[in-house]
Amino acid sequence: MAAIGVDGTWYVLSKLPAATVRNRRAAFEAYISAYRQLLDAPLSLAERTHQVMEVVAADHALLYDRIRGT
């Protein structure tokens, strides 16, 4: 999955070649939980989502990267 921000930043998520996402519901719930934990943090929406994706990807055998635009 790839998303491109208005500033040209790319957000890319994929699974490791040998990995299987066995429990998609668990990944979704981990996303919601991590997002809620950062609701009060003084972060932009893009930065909050980026930090959440880093946590979820690491916990669910996914690859995630942000490639900053100009």
36 against 69, higher pLDDT: 36
Q: Write out pLDDT tens, residues 25-67.
A: 888 888 899 889 888 889 988 888 889 999 888 888 888 999 9
Query: Which tokens go with 37?
Result: 């934990």
| Dist CA 30 CA 34 (whole Å) | 6
The domains of the chain are located at 2-67
Q: Write out pLDDT tens, residues 14-25.
A: 887 776 667 778
DSSP-assigned states of every residue in 24-69: HHHHHHHHHHHHHHTTTSS--HHHHHHHHHHHHHHHTTEEEEEE--
Query: Which of the four pLDDT bands, split at 50, 70 and 90, describes residue 70?
Result: low
pLDDT value for 32: 92
Name the residue type at position 62: L
